[in-house]
Structure 1
Amino acid sequence: MSLTDLSSVRAPVATANGLPNAHYIDPAVFEEEKHALLFSQWAGLAVASDVPEAGDAVPLTFLGMPLLLIRDKDGDVRVFQNICRHRGMILIEEPRKIEGAIRCPYHSWCYSTKGDLVSTPHVGGPGQNTHAAIKRSELGLNEVRAHVWRDVVWINISGDAPAFEIAMSHIIDRWREFDVPMYHGGHGSRFTLEVQTNWKLAVENYCESYHLPWVHPGLNSYSRLEDHYHIEEPEAYSGQGTMVYRQLTNEDGDKFPDFAEVGAKWNEQAEYISVYPNVLLGVHRDHAYAIILEPMGLERTAEHVHIYYAEPGVDEGLKARNTQLWKGVFEEDIFVVEGMQKGRHVTTFDGGRFSPVMDSPTHCFHSWVAGKVVAHRGQAKAAE
């Protein structure tokens, strides 16, 4: 693979170019970014609400790697490699409740919901369920480092990122007021959009409000371009906020209950932040959402959307309207991110330029990508 030149990407926003085409259409660069951006950081995998009860288990794939999301018998959310330590057989193919142990369908090795190897039938011969060479204490499921924040299950595949509380300290502090209980709206408050684009373009589009007048005219009719402000924390996140948020009401004038004690600042304010690498978050006084971007390939991304409220049992009709409103907004972005993806196949495109005034949150992300890739290349060269 010929290494891409990222020097101009890391230049100041007024003179920088965007990431080269190869970062959106070259399989070798996709593989490089997998390690530099997604395996080595705290990336979003799923939500804890996917496994609401002890014993709930959901098989997932993260960039081709089979993983198992499970809530163990004590109620803790864990992520394991979804393979048996014996011959690497997939353990669970479909979501289900683990009533006893996780049993490998190949040779019936069994694991607890905490990943401990608890049974190895006939491993020492017929009727002999132990063998000196097979030390169960050393052959539990391989656990993937995981942390739950704002219901998102964040994982660090490489295992060497700083502790989550350190790596994500900036965004945790920024939204400290929202560190209150929140409740997933249920089946009708989740949906997935499959988009023909590289996952980074979904991040880039979410970062900025510049496109609102043309792509989201309905939203822009009350939350105008001039009502927005930039949010930038280099090396961590970027996005936008609005000083005008209009609460949804039903025919009786009822609204969603507010999150407890978020403060008057949030009466009409809302924020929308891309937390690098692949989680898009939104907070309002009365609801929040998380979007987990699943890179399904070079030019395919699944956007998994989950909406949350301050209390369980919120009015179902109002929730349904809110889901449809947000789904409509996110669907309006599809033609944009797919159009930019198609544009990356123009061989002479130089990555584009940024408006120093309107595009700085997007440039913040580009600069982060470039910095992580360059650092990864340096580590790879040092290891040679």
Structure 2
Amino acid sequence: MTAPLTDLSHVRRPVSEAQGLPNPHYIDSQVYNEEKHAVLFSSWSGLAVAADVPEIGDAVPLTFVGMPLLVIRDKSNTVRVFQNTCRHRGMILVEEPRKIEGAIRCPYHSWCYSTEGRLVSTPHVGGPGQNTHESIDRDLLGLIEVPSHIWRDVIWINIDGTALPFEDANADLIARWAEFDKPLYHGGADSAFQLEVECNWKLAVENYCESYHLPWVHPGLNSYSRLEDHYHIEKQDSYSGQGTLVYRQLKAADGQVFADFEDVGEKWNEAAEYITVYPNVLLGVHRDHAFAIVLVPKSTERTVENIHLYYATPKTNDAMRAANTEQWKLVFEEDIFVVEGMQKGRHSPNFDGGRFSAVMDSPTHCFHAWIAGKIENYRATAQAAE
């Protein structure tokens, strides 16, 4: 029997007794690889947003935890995710974002695939001038498609195909935000930005889940949406985060505001919610705009945050939209020194995962307990197979 890489027995205890995930879960390459399979590949993980491929034929190559993927909007206007690998000799198909006008052509031997993933052309495969061969069944050699789903414009993927259907896995949150089940309009180029942070991806989640740090890290935000105005949001094994009862709309000098999402209830006049959908997507909803942050793990100690802002109407005031982006960018940048500081702290060999405030840290503990449960299930399955 192979010994487990880490002891997680203390993580799933009640929050008042629990310790956090041990150091190796932030700095060790073996544990990072284990989490890749146990957590990121087995769940509905965020990859990108549909706004990244706005038009038919748009194709964007991405790498998710080492796996080369291709996001494409096919000729029927469906967003698909494929492994970005030719079925012939494993060549990468698309190296840079581009428009696919006809077929996806492998640059090595010119095998071609439709935007729906079918293998449609195999030139000279049977010899010069012979484009077919009995040993090559095109119907069996299409691109390998990764199960995907779009919700709130996020492209969610389940790489190993074992997760429940997305609507079942996230039914509780979908119902919670049913009032926001309206069209989302991406704000465009000035409503998307990227932050690179020197930390493990989980620390970005942990920081987003809680409001405890507001008075010290976000003094501007805390000046009107105070710590005491916030509440916890927790759904075991699914999501956690925070909400505020005091949301202040952005106003232009002439009093103009963004249009509200149609028919949102009175609760949202001044409320807003910020939730992490496990494992790696941070979502925010307000009466007049929303955002999605897709965390892309790059290594044990490096994460890219892709941030996108959305509105209730396709046209918004340019200056207001830019100001809103800058406002949120400032808030998210204020968190960088915290998550990077915690990452440095995980190199202290005697740090034991830390303790939680039973009152203030329960959304973070909820996330840790979910991670630990996913890993323990993965280990049990691996052990049974030995």
Q: Which TM class, normalised by the smaller chain length?
A: over 0.9
Deviates more, 1:168-177 or 1:37-46: 168-177
Verify: 1:278 aligned to 2:255, yes or no.
no
State whether residues 212 and 360 of structure 2, in contact with CA within 8 Å, keep that contact through their aligned partners in structure 1. Answer: yes
In structure 2, what is the Cα distance between the partners aligned to 1:212 and 1:264?
A: 26
State whether residues 4 and 379 of structure 2, in contact with CA within 8 Å, keep that contact through their aligned partners in structure 1. Answer: no
Task: Give the CA RMSD over aligned residues.
Answer: 0.6
Q: Which amino acid aligns with 2:133?
A: H
1:182-226 Cα offsets, whole Å, 9 max, x none, are 100000000000000000000000000000000000000000000
Q: Which amino acid aligns with 1:54?
A: I
SS in 1 for 2:146: strand
In structure 2, what is the Cα distance between the partners aligned to 1:161 and 1:238?
A: 19
1:306-337 Cα offsets, whole Å, 9 max, x none, are 00000011011000000000000000000000
Percentage of matched positions with identical amino acids: 72
What residue number does 2:109 align with?
107
What residue number does 1:171 align with?
173
In structure 2, what is the Cα distance between the partners aligned to 1:366 and 1:139?
A: 40
The match for 1:124 among 94, 108, 126 is 126
What residue number does 1:383 align with?
385
Q: Which amino acid aligns with 2:67?
A: M
What residue number does 1:217 align with?
219
Verify: 1:234 aligned to 2:206, yes or no.
no
State whether residues 244 and 272 of structure 2, in contact with CA within 8 Å, keep that contact through their aligned partners in structure 1. Answer: yes
In structure 2, what is the Cα distance between the partners aligned to 1:368 and 1:6?
A: 11
Q: Which amino acid aligns with 2:327?
A: L
After superposition, where does 1:170-189 map in structure 2 within 5 Å?
170-189=172-191
Verify: 1:16 aligned to 2:44, yes or no.
no
Verify: 1:341 aligned to 2:351, yes or no.
no
In structure 1, what is the Cα distance between the partners aligned to 2:68 and 2:358?
A: 42
Q: Which amino acid aligns with 1:18?
A: G
Q: Which amino acid aligns with 1:256?
A: F
What residue number does 2:95 align with?
93
What residue number does 1:314 align with?
316
SS in 2 for 1:336: helix
1:255-284 Cα offsets, whole Å, 9 max, x none, are 000001111110000000011000000000
Q: Which amino acid aligns with 1:203?
A: V
In structure 1, what is the Cα distance between the partners aligned to 2:229 and 2:267?
A: 15
CA shift for structure 1 position 383:
1.1
TM-score, structure 1 as length reference: 0.99
The match for 1:133 among 121, 132, 135 is 135
Q: Which amino acid aligns with 1:250?
A: A
1:45-100 Cα offsets, whole Å, 9 max, x none, are 00000000110000000011100000000000000000100000000001011000
Structure 2 gap segments, 5+ residues each: none
Q: Which amino acid aligns with 1:199?
A: W
Aligned length: 384
What residue number does 1:208 align with?
210
Q: Which amino acid aligns with 1:298?
A: T
CA shift for structure 1 position 26:
0.7
What residue number does 1:294 align with?
296
CA shift for structure 1 position 160:
1.3
After superposition, where does 1:352-371 map in structure 2 within 5 Å?
352-371=354-373
What residue number does 1:59 align with?
61
The match for 1:257 among 238, 254, 259 is 259
In structure 1, what is the Cα distance between the partners aligned to 2:337 and 2:5?
A: 30
Verify: 1:153 aligned to 2:132, yes or no.
no
In structure 1, what is the Cα distance between the partners aligned to 2:221 and 2:163?
A: 38
Structure 1 gap segments, 5+ residues each: none
After superposition, where does 1:66-81 map in structure 2 within 5 Å?
66-81=68-83
SS in 1 for 2:246: coil
In structure 2, what is the Cα distance between the partners aligned to 1:75 and 1:364?
A: 38
After superposition, where does 1:26-41 map in structure 2 within 5 Å?
26-41=28-43
SS in 2 for 1:144: coil
CA shift for structure 1 position 2:
5.0
CA shift for structure 1 position 3:
2.1
SS in 2 for 1:128: coil
State whether residues 187 and 310 of structure 2, in contact with CA within 8 Å, keep that contact through their aligned partners in structure 1. Answer: yes
